[in-house]
Amino acid sequence: MMKSSNTRANNLEVVRQWALKQFSLGHSSIHGPDHWEKVYENGVMLAGKTSGADVLVVKLFSLLHDCRRENNHYDPDHGRRAAENLEQINEELLHLSDDQLALLEQACAGHADGFTSSNPTIGCCWDADRLELPRAGIKPKARFLSTAAARKLI
Ligand SMILES: [Fe+2]
Ligand SMILES: [Fe+2]
């Protein structure tokens, strides 16, 4: 049991290193690794309170969703770019089932489009990111949150 959870943790670190290699905006970027870490913590917390959420997909979202950003400002397609690579790296790095991969692709592709989702996994991903909007001076609004757990926090 212990061994398998360590293996998963090590694998997440390998994914994080891969994401850092893709990321061109530097460690201090507002969309960089410090932000990924906060989204990870938010996502684990929300997934623990959201029935049916797949916490592994949420963790991977946190590490990957912003790694293909090309600037720190207006980059509306950065989520779709992040989603483009996932199928290629699944076998070697992510080890997701087809259903999990599809969820991660949808969560990454659509995370910056301003929608909510009734899917618990995608909802936790998007809310974990939106709870970090205050870093950009934006207050999260309940109507842009998907999960009850996140709405309770604002
Ligand atoms: Fe983003
Ligand atoms: Fe983000």
Of 38, 107, 108, 106, the residue nearest 69 (C-alpha): 108
Q: Tell me which ligand sits closest to the C-alpha of residue 132.
A: 2
For residue 2, the CA-to-ligand 2 centroid distance in Å is 31
> How far apart, in Å, are the Cα atoms of 39 and each of 32, 65, 90, 135?
11, 10, 21, 12
Q: Could you say which ligand is closest to the alpha carbon of residue 70?
A: 1
- Nearest ligand to the CA atom of 32: 2
* Residue carrying structure tokens 């991903």: 125
Of 117, 135, 129, nearest to 78 by C-alpha is: 129
Residue 87: what residue type?
Answer: E
Residue 24 has phi, psi (to 5 degrees) of -105, 5
- Those residues with Cβ within 8 angstroms of residue 91's Cβ, 6 or more apart along the chain or in another chain: none
Spatial contact of 59 and 12, defined as CB atoms under 8 Å apart = yes
- Dihedral sign computed on CA atoms, order 115, 119, 127, 10: negative
- Between CA 22 and CA 48 the distance in angstroms is 29
Q: Into how many domains does the chain fold?
A: 1
In angstroms, what is the span from residue 66 Cα to ligand 2's centroid? 5
Ligand number nearest to the C-alpha of 79: 1
Q: How many residues does the chain have?
A: 154
**CATH code (residue 24):** 1.10.3210.10
| Per-residue confidence (pLDDT) for residue 118, from 0 to 100 | 98
State the pLDDT at residue 124: 98
- Give the domain extent around 56: 2-151
CA 78 – ligand 1 centroid, Å: 7
Residue of 113, 85, 90 lying closest to 101 (CA atoms): 90
Instruction: Return the pLDDT at 101.
Output: 98
In whole angstroms, what is the distance from residue 38 CA to residue 127 CA? 12
Rounded distance from Cα 48 to ligand 1 centre (Å): 22
Centre of ligand 1 to C-alpha 111, Å, is: 6
**Distance between CA atoms of residues 81 and 134, nearest Å:** 24
Q: Which residues, by Cβ under 5 Å, contact ligand 1, an ion?
A: 66, 112
- Give the distance (Å) from ligand 2 centre to CA of residue 3: 31
Residue-wise pLDDT tens for the chain (154 aa)? 445 566 777 899 999 999 999 999 999 999 999 999 999 999 999 999 999 999 999 999 999 999 999 999 999 999 999 999 999 999 999 999 999 999 999 999 999 999 999 999 999 999 999 999 999 999 999 999 999 999 999 9
Ligand in nearest proximity to the CA of 78: 1
